[in-house]
Structure 1
Amino acid sequence: MRIIHCAWAAALLSALGAGSCAKDTTGNGGTGTTESYNDKIDSYLAERYLWNGEYGQMTRDLTIEYAADNDNFLTRTLLGMTSNTLDKKRYTSGAGQNYYNLYSYITRKARSRAATGPKTRGVNHGVRKETEYGFGFARLGVVRFSNTGKAGFYVMAVYPGSPADRAGFRRGTIFSEIDGAEIADSESEYTPVYKRLTSPSGAASVLFKVRETGEETTLTAERLYPNPVLRAEVIEEGEHKIGYMVYNGFDAAYDDDLLDSLRKFRDAGITDLVFDLRYNGGGHVISAKMLATCIAGEKCDGKVFQYYRYNDSRMADPAKTQKQTGNTYDREKALFYENFSYGDYYGADLKQYALGLQNIYVLTTGSTASSSEAVINGLRGIDIGVTLIGEKTNGKNVGMEIDKFDDGDYSYELAPITFEGYNAKKETVNPAGLAVDYAVADWNNRLVDFGPEEPMLAKALSLITGRTYTPAPCRSAAGIAPIAGVSLPEDARRPAGMLVLSPQHGE
């Protein structure tokens, strides 16, 4: 889920007055001018942005910086619109401040990070793995210490085998100091530190102090492959064989790794499935469709995974839009669609991974968004039972067609909202989020590591087996609470949202 937090006040709702914050990007560069880049961006938005009717009526300033961190042509222009409420969503922070989240984004990264990793083994869609420097924090949050008035960081998930994992840092570990210094409870102070911890520049070293023990540990960032499959195991309880997977993002580069885990579930003969998508903000639609296909099995054969509604001008020219998207136009429903991939999926036979389940359990929070919600909605569209446990999802029912271009030492990814998605029953995800069937808080005075004693999973296991699984007692964390409504930079290195690749690149 790409989220851009934008504070606003009622008096500052004009295109020029609204403040904005862009996704984090890497440096300046390229040989083109601001106007030449903005001309590319403007042309793409004018043709494909879901609300291009209003966009075409606007006066657009092509001299605005095209990829600045805090204010750029894309964000300033789209924030000045009024009809794009599914892109520019209004929220209220924990401090009572109103702000907008803008899903559309543009990112830039050094071309040295082009896709040079190993090719996928069985899946041949061309999306390749990329290494990145990291300490191994798959998810990190910010907390406030009421007794000191300072801020800290808490671990929400780590990559197996990473420096953080080897150091014994687990979900629930809280850091009170970084490099020997406390962290001020100010967004301008902890955001740069957060960036250092989640996307370090090279093989940087950082000293971490664990609040509970006072122990200090130095970690050095390493080149990692951020495999989104954080955990996959089979829990056996009586006649139940329960597959449990923590999946952190729909990155098509790791489709083979996802299929490997699903094959293990199939070979183990699982009877039930708990899919942990609590921090999964989405990613590639092709991977979402692949996963949903494997869960449903034969029941999804020949059925619609998702319908697409594009802007009015594109819907009025089905032949051109079908060529652009690779999706088929259904004249009766006046929507484009794509079916599940039961059978061949870019060289992999998904029949060999099919679980054929009639009901599954999904663990969710407000960070569960986009392609994650598309999987839930798509399965419900063909009457697969999906029980949600945790917290209400994000409510992002729109997605992007990615446009990429290179210039100089940089590669650019432009991803404006271009479609709204629906399942086979023509139901879309509620923009307010998908309500859970069983409410369980993610933060329950502390985080418990993934496993049967974690409260959300414990609830799922109880529902499946009829036994009572008692969550692990949380260690005291009195006076500590996550800071809500903060504007932390998204990591531009990994896919998030509901991203559709061009027909020439895997879709």
Structure 2
Amino acid sequence: MKNLRLIWVLLLVLMIGGCDLFTGSDDEIKEPTAEKKFMWNAMNYWYYWQGEVDELDDEFNDDKSKFYNYLNNNSDAEELFESLRHPEDDFSFFIDDYEEFQDEQDGVYAALGFNYGFIRISQTEYMGYVRYVIPNTPAEEAGFKRLDLFTEVDGNTITENNYLDLLTSDSNHELTMVHLERTEDDFTIVEDSTVSVNSEEVVEDPVLKTEVIDTAGVSIGYISYNAFRDNYHSRLNEVFGEFQSQNIDDLVLDLRYNGGGSVLTSQLLASLISGLGSNDKYATLAYNEKRSERSRDLYFLDEVPLKDEDDEFNNSEPINNLSLSTVYILVSRSTASASEAVINSLKPYMDVTIIGLKTVGKDEGSLTLYDTSPPYLDDSDANPDHKKAIQPIVTKIINSQGSDYPDGFAPDGYVNGECAENADGSDVVDNCINEITVDNLIERPALGSPDEPLFSRAIDLIIGQTAKQKQATETRLPTLREIEIKNGVQDLRPNGNGMYIEPFMVPTDEK
């Protein structure tokens, strides 16, 4: 009887106090951090796939308890961001410190000073290779050269399980260097020495190399351009002024290591090549249904936009365009986003010849979003309590004929993911060329050299010469397989495969 009375007393207390002990009142729910609330609001506002992610539905935050619980169930803002990404989204990313990220976009970051990739030698053997070396960096001081090879990092043999983690841009490293030597019908790996390379602040000029080659009565300009950086517009224009002064007949644009960057800079490069201007449509930025009123057309440029001391595009200079009708573009599996936008946007107006391997297929653009008021674009008014930001995909870029490029661009002769071969094992005479061959790794031609396979093919096409064939008596050493790395370029540049929109290019007035 006493137990029964106790039960009734407890029930009476619950009835007087309401049902909050069972359901939890709004006052008892822990308020999410400012970073998490910003993350959801900005993604709900801009994200390209907003309408396809249930947790980003406009009504998802109507139920405060459910909404706060969802945000709090993620351990931090980055985990929340990842939970909101659409399955098709390979390129949006979280920014831990937006001031460091802004420096990275300007080409200033901690690095070793060389761009690298990895090669599978056999089922169990792997090695790294140097794609290129930035001048005046620790890698150059250590004596690194293009197509140098290494098999160990800090005493660790490169394997399938560790190759992504061995080299970090903010640490010093020791690399075990090797080279290849021919045997009677194969090759062998010969160890050389261990080389130390330090990590320091690197400033990268995106124009790595330029050359002018005169052959068979034709003047050919060559430029290796490795990132679309909006603070190097004058430098890019200067290079094209040099091409102008030397009266080049044709241009070879090397984008094989260019993972992207500024959409505005891609407009500039395409304008420098083509001579097209503000009456000619470059592309359309197409946003999601929720932000469709912001979709807009972009046009080629009549002048070169330059930043002022406040980092705003309030200055300009005359443009040194070439007005070409044909361009030869060297590409690889690392060519992405803004590089592909140049290809896509020039195709309706001129002959674009692709040489190399199939490109990534990133036809999506992003914005840097800060914890500030909508539309989340002004970092000067961002929440001072943290430096978190996000770089979500917000738009598709489509050329003047309505074409995008989700599958990338493949050169002639690219079949089922590989360069086609003749019955005798030699390459089909076409534009599909893999630079990672044993022959090339032994000979190690420099970028811009007529002996470099991709540039050599471009020269042959320009002067009307058939592609060079191996002599039947010469043993043809194998083509090796570079490891394809998800989400773009594995190299010295942080987030090297992004394509971003300048905030001033985004209409902010609602209709």
TM-score (norm 2): 0.72
Aligned equivalents of 1:489, 1:233: Cα separation in 2: 27
| One-letter amino acid of the counterpart of residue 289, structure 1 | Q
Aligned equivalents of 2:267, 2:208: Cα separation in 1: 20
Q: Which residue of 2 aligns with 1:483?
A: 483
Q: Does 1:62 align with 2:71?
A: yes
Question: What secondary structure does 1:289 align onto?
Answer: helix
Aligned equivalents of 1:178, 1:476: Cα separation in 2: 31
Count of residues in Structure 1 that have an aligned counterpart in Structure 2: 412
Q: Structure 1 residues 502 and 475 mapped into 2: Cα distance closer, same or farther (>3 Å)?
A: farther
Q: Which residue of 2 aligns with 1:357?
A: 324
Shift of 1:300: 3.3
Q: Deviations over 1:73-106 (max 9, x none)?
A: 2222214x5xxx4x3xxxxxxxxxxxxxx11111
Aligned ranges 1:350-389 → 2 under 5 Å? 350-351=318-319, 353-381=320-348, 383-389=349-355
Q: Deviations over 1:377-420 (max 9, x none)?
A: 11123x12111111111111111122135666963341111111
Question: What secondary structure does 2:504 align onto?
Answer: coil
Question: What secondary structure does 1:214 align onto?
Answer: strand
Q: Structure 1 residues 252 and 479 mapped into 2: Cα distance closer, same or farther (>3 Å)?
A: closer
Question: What secondary structure does 1:142 align onto?
Answer: strand
Shift of 1:132: 2.5
Aligned equivalents of 1:129, 1:286: Cα separation in 2: 14
Aligned equivalents of 2:126, 2:120: Cα separation in 1: 4
Shift of 1:242: 0.8
Q: Which residue of 2 aligns with 1:455?
A: 453
Q: Structure 1 residues 354 and 475 mapped into 2: Cα distance closer, same or farther (>3 Å)?
A: farther
Q: Which residue of 2 aligns with 1:155?
A: 130
Aligned equivalents of 1:505, 1:130: Cα separation in 2: 23
Is the 8 Å Cα contact of residues 380 and 386 (structure 1) preserved in structure 2? yes
Q: Deviations over 1:197-244 (max 9, x none)?
A: xx124xx35354334451232223333211221111111113211111
Q: Does 1:417 align with 2:390?
A: no
| One-letter amino acid of the counterpart of residue 94, structure 2 | I
Q: Which residue of 2 aligns with 1:428?
A: 404
Aligned equivalents of 2:304, 2:230: Cα separation in 1: 16
Q: Which residue of 1 aligns with 2:363?
A: 397
Q: Deviations over 1:475-496 (max 9, x none)?
A: 9987964334568867674653
Q: Structure 1 residues 67 and 209 mapped into 2: Cα distance closer, same or farther (>3 Å)?
A: farther
Q: Deviations over 1:433-455 (max 9, x none)?
A: 22213211232235443221121
Question: What secondary structure does 1:62 align onto?
Answer: helix
Aligned equivalents of 1:313, 1:159: Cα separation in 2: 43
| One-letter amino acid of the counterpart of residue 344, structure 2 | N
Is the 8 Å Cα contact of residues 341 and 350 (structure 1) preserved in structure 2? no
Q: Which residue of 1 aligns with 2:219?
A: 241
Q: Which residue of 1 aligns with 2:433?
A: 440
1:103 to 84, 91, 98: 91
Shift of 1:337: 0.6
Is the 8 Å Cα contact of residues 178 and 209 (structure 1) preserved in structure 2? no
Aligned equivalents of 1:226, 1:304: Cα separation in 2: 31
Q: Which residue of 1 aligns with 2:10?
A: none
Is the 8 Å Cα contact of residues 283 and 370 (structure 1) preserved in structure 2? yes
Question: What secondary structure does 1:389 align onto?
Answer: strand
Question: What secondary structure does 2:96 align onto?
Answer: strand
1:276 to 254, 257, 268: 254
Shift of 1:40: 0.8
Aligned equivalents of 1:270, 1:225: Cα separation in 2: 30
Q: Which residue of 2 aligns with 1:313?
A: 290
Q: Which residue of 1 aligns with 2:419?
A: none
Question: What secondary structure does 1:373 align onto?
Answer: helix
Structure 2: state its 5+ residue gaps: 1-30, 61-65, 180-189, 307-314, 372-381, 413-430
The structure richer in helix per residue is 2
Q: Does 1:74 align with 2:81?
A: yes
